[in-house]
Amino acid sequence: MSDLKIIFTGPVGAGKTTAISSISDVPPVNTDKAASDMTKVKKNQTTVAFDYGVMNLNGDEKIHLYGTPGQERFNFMWDILSTNALGVILLIDGSRKEPLNDLIFFINVFKDLISKTALAVGVSQLDKSANKCLKPYNKKLREMNIKSAVFEVDARSKTDISLLVKALLFSIDQGLEYAS
Amino acid sequence: MREDMLASILSELNGTSADIEASAVISTDGLMIASVLPQGMDEDRVGAMSAAMLSLGDRTSGELGRGELEQVLIKGDNGFVLMTHAGEDAVVTVMAKPRAKLGLIFLDVKRASENISQML
Ligand SMILES: Nc1nc2c(ncn2[C@@H]2O[C@H](COP(=O)(O)OP(=O)(O)O)[C@@H](O)[C@H]2O)c(=O)[nH]1
Ligand SMILES: [Mg+2]
């Protein structure tokens, strides 16, 4: 099978929906609805099923991109979307109060998938944050014994998100080579 | 107040047919607005599942040329789940027994949804 599937996950407002629409080569499918929960202090719309896009690679390979809802009440969608995924992109909103807690939370949720595949972490919203340092994220990942690149990203930037996806693909490739 | 009136519409709906076991009004982003559910059924799950299914139904109906979505119907061994829009921002979810008379339920739910959408 030459089709790859990866998922974008992370807390509400990290930029999963935006990231997929930034890099998709087809019009993305989005299932955002008017927010009535705490989300609405940050933004008007929230994802209730999934985001979907496609990124074309060289040749006729393509990657299917699935974005998850952020709120825990949608955790059944996290399971559904994880099936057969070859890697996880975790977007963290670096301007939130305790972004490391979000990192730990989502890594624990996707622990099995991550241990079998690969992870790349993008920290967004750092332009709005007082604390712009990525070191704490790297440190926490080391403590958790997780191998992952960490990048500062702006979900609105196609360049940033493409780079993040490429970093993930690179570590998936390495994993495959180790396995074979 | 509004919750009470919604709950009374739902109770009435549950009363119209012995086949209806539960009903709820949910915002399109998956939060419970009012419900008449059996003990032990998790409101959050009902809410989130309804929102996800209805949004997929919306998209599927539109993208496959079936027009505006009216309802999503799920059939399992142990019965039905029926989700219907109540205006733009809410969903009415109804759970019914396995051998329920769907035609009648469709009608009752449609009527209830119209009443509910006027109250929201
Ligand atoms: N200032 C700033 N805004 C960003 C950045 N990344 C994403 N955004 C905005 O943050 C919001 C993220 O919303 P959304 O994509 O719906 O987040 P989701 O809940 O993760 O799907 C959007 O309004 C983006 O335009 C960033 O790095 N800086
Ligand atoms: Mg989203």
Q: What is the pLDDT of residues A32-64, one digit of tens each?
A: 999 999 888 889 999 999 999 999 987 778 899
Tell me which residue of A103, A72, A100 sits closest to A89, measured CA to CA: A103
Q: Which of A90-104, A149-163, A164-178, B50-64 has the lowest mean pLDDT?
A: A164-178
**pLDDT at residue A177, as a whole number:** 62
Mutant choice from B29, B33, B54 vs A, greatest count of A C-beta within 10 A:
B29
Q: Is the pLDDT of residue A150 over 90?
A: yes
- Mean pLDDT, residues A25-36: 92
Tell me which residue of B53, B57, B77, B78 sits closest to B66, measured CA to CA: B57
Percent of chain B exceeding pLDDT 70 equals: 100
Cα separation, A88 vs A106, in Å, equals 10
B34-67 core/surface letters (b: 16 or more CB in 10 A; e: else)? bbbbeeeeeeeebbbbbbbbbbbbbbebeeeeee
For A63-73, the pLDDT digits (tens) are 999 999 999 99
B83, containing H or E segment: strand B79-85
Residue B116: which pLDDT band, with cuts at 50, 70 and 90? very high
**pLDDT at residue B86, as a whole number:** 95
pTM recorded for the entire structure: 0.86
Instruction: Please name each of the domains of chain B with its CATH number.
Output: 2-119 (3.30.450.30)
Query: Would you say the C-alpha torsion B112, B113, B119, B120 has a positive or negative sign?
Result: positive
Cα separation, B24 vs B84, in Å, equals 11
Tell me which residue of A144, A82, A149 sits closest to A122, measured CA to CA: A149
* DSSP letter (8 states) at residue B45: H
**pLDDT at residue B59, as a whole number:** 86
Give the closest residue (by CA) to ligand 1 atom 16: A17
**pLDDT at residue A59, as a whole number:** 76
**pLDDT at residue A1, as a whole number:** 43
Q: Is A156 in the pocket of ligand 1 (CB under 6 A)?
A: yes
**A53 SS3 class:** strand
**pLDDT at residue B1, as a whole number:** 76
Q: Is A70 in the pocket of ligand 1 (CB under 6 A)?
A: yes
- Mean pLDDT, residues B46-61: 90
Instruction: Please name each of the domains of chain A with its CATH number.
Output: 3-172 (3.40.50.300)
Query: Three-state SS across A111-168?
Result: HHHHHHCCEEEEEECHHHCCCCCCHHHHHHHHHCCCCEEEEECCCCCHHHHHHHHHHH
Cα separation, A120 vs A8, in Å, equals 10
- C-alpha distances (whole Å) from A128 to each of A122, A132, A171 are 15, 9, 30
Please judge whether A76 and B55 are an interchain contact, meaning their C-beta atoms are less than 8 angstroms apart: no
Q: Is A43 in the pocket of ligand 1 (CB under 6 A)?
A: yes
- Mean pLDDT, residues B91-120: 95
Are the C-beta atoms of A64 and A3 separated by less than 8 Å? yes
For chain A, positions 86-145, list CB contacts with chain B under 8 A. Answer: none
Q: Is the pLDDT of residue A131 over 90?
A: no
Please judge whether B55 and A29 are an interchain contact, meaning their C-beta atoms are less than 8 angstroms apart: no
Q: Is the pLDDT of residue B56 over 80?
A: yes
Residue A178: which pLDDT band, with cuts at 50, 70 and 90? low
Cα separation, A5 vs A80, in Å, equals 13
